[in-house]
């Protein structure tokens, strides 16, 4: 019997069709390659043709989706697209700066900006704008930097409360490098800046040379809490220790020219036979120079740090005898360079990078930048 013709005749003449509610599986009850519907023998291939066609159609759709997905993946690799958010392309660093509007630190920031361009990174600078309350405010900025979880932190660590937070950052896998003021007793990665002991000792030797190793000496700093300045001062005292040069006065200038001027005037009036005065903090030596000029005490040897325009003018007027200039631009530039090398895992990095110091006198004040 031709089953295909039988199927056509039965479906054309059947008076009792299979109930609509009959499941397809029941209608396709296969036995010896045939199915029984209303007493007729129906080939299973025809009875299940709808299911087969649907299966083939579904498979084709799945295959099309898979092919489309594969093409999309290749397109993403080719164009650099990402899902959900823009792909991060630059390392993000934060520099915790003590006084962002200070001339010295502006030079450091300029070095950072140039290094950002050279090494394709982004460094955000945060910190107090002025010296008014920066000692109290700076630890809060360090905590802010930690909370933002950058790829790395550069920080001035001359304040104990700031140094204490370095280990907190390192414990959170945020690499920290110190700039200008070190915290060697912490877990910081590297220090970039001046060899402070060498600079302080050189300042002391210069004081010995210019005073003949005789006479009373005074000292003005920013604050007794500034560890880096105290370290420089310690080296200065080591250099003059073996000479008849007692330190008769110490004062805080707050790294403010106005405050330092008043402090210096008080010392100069109290000790009319003062032989020399030394200062750490760029604005402090500015105040000393102004005080010596206003009191006509250019006989006093004044030695300090930082080559601001005002300090250079006082040097030319012989109100300051010697300035030792650090290199804040190189501090900023080399700090970003070193941090980039570390976060890119390019191997071990130096623990200390010295950026040097320049001795400036009235003789080379107009040429030292070219040395």
CATH class of this structure's domain 196-325? alpha beta
Sign (positive or negative) of CA dihedral 55, 58, 63, 66: negative
- In the numeric block, the tokens 């009235």 are attached to 362
Domains 92-194+329-355 and 196-325 belong to one CATH topology: yes
Burial class (CB in 10 A: 0-12, 13-18, 19+), 292: buried
Q: Which of 284, 286, 287, 264 minimizes the C-alpha distance to 276?
A: 264
Angle at 316 between CA 314 and CA 319, to 5 degrees: 45
- pLDDT value, residue 329: 92
Share of the chain above pLDDT 90, in %: 67
CB-based burial of residue 43 (10 Å sphere; 0-12 exposed, 13-18 middle, 19+ buried)? middle
Q: Which residue has the higher pLDDT, 54 or 226?
A: 226
Give one DSSP letter per residue of 295-310, joined into a string. Answer: TT-TTSEEEEE---HH
Q: What are the pLDDT digits (tens) for 211-232?
A: 999 999 999 999 988 888 999 9
What pLDDT is stored for residue 228 in this prediction? 86
pLDDT tens, residue by residue, 278-336: 999 889 999 999 999 999 998 999 999 999 999 999 999 999 999 999 899 999 999 99
Q: What angle in degrees, to the nearest 10, is found between the helix axes of 134-147 and 160-171?
A: 10
- Within 8 A by CB and 6+ apart from 93, the residues are 121, 122, 123, 124, 150, 151, 152, 153, 154, 336, 339
Token pair belonging to 204: 């002391």
Tokens for 364?
């080379």
d(CA 302, CA 300): 6
Average pLDDT over residues 340-366: 92
Q: Which residue from 218, 205, 281 is spatially nearest to 248, judged by alpha carbons?
A: 218
According to DSSP H, which parts of the chain are helical? Answer: 3-13, 24-27, 44-47, 49-79, 103-119, 134-147, 160-171, 196-211, 227-240, 257-270, 282-294, 309-316, 328-343
Rounded to the nearest integer, the mean pLDDT of the chain is 84
Per-residue pLDDT of 234-244, as tens digits, reads: 999 999 999 99
Q: Which residue has the tokens 């390392």?
A: 91
Q: Let me know: does 69 contact 318? Beta carbons within 8 Å.
A: no
Domain borders along the chain are: 3-47, 92-194+329-355, 196-325
Q: Please compute Rg for the chain using Cα positions.
A: 40
Q: φ and ψ at 341, to 5 degrees?
A: -60, -40
Q: Is residue 49 pLDDT above 60, yes or no?
A: no
The 10 Å Cβ neighbour count of residue 350 is 13
> 16 Cβ partners below 8 Å, 6+ apart?
38
Query: Phi-psi bin for 39: left (phi > 0), alpha (psi -120 to 50), beta?
Result: left
> What are 187-204's pLDDT values in tens digits?
999 999 999 999 999 999
Q: Is 55 exposed, middle or buried (0-12, 13-18, 19+ CB in 10 A)?
A: exposed
Per-residue pLDDT at 150 = 98
272's CB contacts (< 8 A; 6+ apart) are none
State the pLDDT at residue 96. 98
**Could you say which DSSP state residue 369 is in?**
G
Separation CA 238–CA 326 (nearest Å): 21
pTM above 0.75, yes or no: no
Domain 92-194+329-355 sits in CATH at 3.40.50.2300
């Amino acid at each position: 019997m031709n089953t295909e013709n039988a199927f056509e005749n039965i479906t054309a003449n059947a008076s009792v069709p299979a109930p609509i509610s009959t499941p397809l599986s029941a209608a396709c009850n296969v036995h010896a390659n045939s199915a029984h519907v209303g007493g007729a023998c129906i080939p299973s291939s025809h009875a299940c043709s709808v299911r087969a066609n649907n299966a083939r159609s579904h498979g084709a759709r799945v295959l099309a989706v898979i092919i489309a997905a594969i093409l999309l993946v290749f397109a993403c690799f080719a164009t650099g697209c990402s899902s959900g958010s823009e792909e991060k392309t630059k390392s993000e660093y934060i520099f915790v700066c003590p006084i962002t509007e200070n001339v010295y630190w502006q030079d450091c920031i300029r070095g950072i900006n140039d290094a950002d361009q050279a090494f394709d990174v982004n460094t955000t600078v945060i910190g107090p704008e002025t010296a008014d309350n920066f000692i109290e405010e700076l630890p809060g900025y360090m905590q802010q930097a930690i909370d933002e979880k950058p790829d790395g932190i550069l920080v001035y660590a001359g304040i104990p409360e700031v140094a204490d937070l370095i280990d907190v950052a390192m414990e959170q896998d945020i690499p920290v490098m110190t700039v200008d003021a070190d915290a060697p007793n912490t877990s910081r990665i590297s220090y970039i800046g001046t060899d402070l002991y060498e600079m302080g000792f050189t300042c002391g030797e210069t004081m010995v040379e210019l005073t003949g190793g005789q006479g009373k000496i005074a000292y003005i700093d920013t604050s007794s809490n500034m560890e880096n300045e105290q370290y420089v001062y310690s080296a200065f005292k080591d250099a003059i220790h073996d000479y008849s040069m007692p330190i008769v006065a110490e004062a805080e200038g707050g790294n403010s020219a106005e405050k330092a001027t008043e402090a210096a005037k008080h010392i100069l009036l109290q000790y009319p036979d003062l032989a020399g005065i030394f200062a750490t903090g760029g604005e402090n030596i500015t105040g000393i120079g102004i005080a010596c000029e206003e009191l006509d005490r250019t006989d006093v040897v004044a030695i300090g740090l930082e080559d601001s325009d005002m300090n250079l003018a006082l040097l030319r007027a012989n109100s300051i005898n010697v300035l030792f200039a650090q290199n804040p631009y190189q501090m900023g530039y080399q700090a970003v360079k070193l941090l980039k090398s570390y976060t890119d895992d390019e191997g071990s990095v130096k623990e200390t990078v010295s950026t040097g110091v320049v001795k400036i006198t009235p003789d080379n004040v107009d040429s030292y930048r070219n040395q």
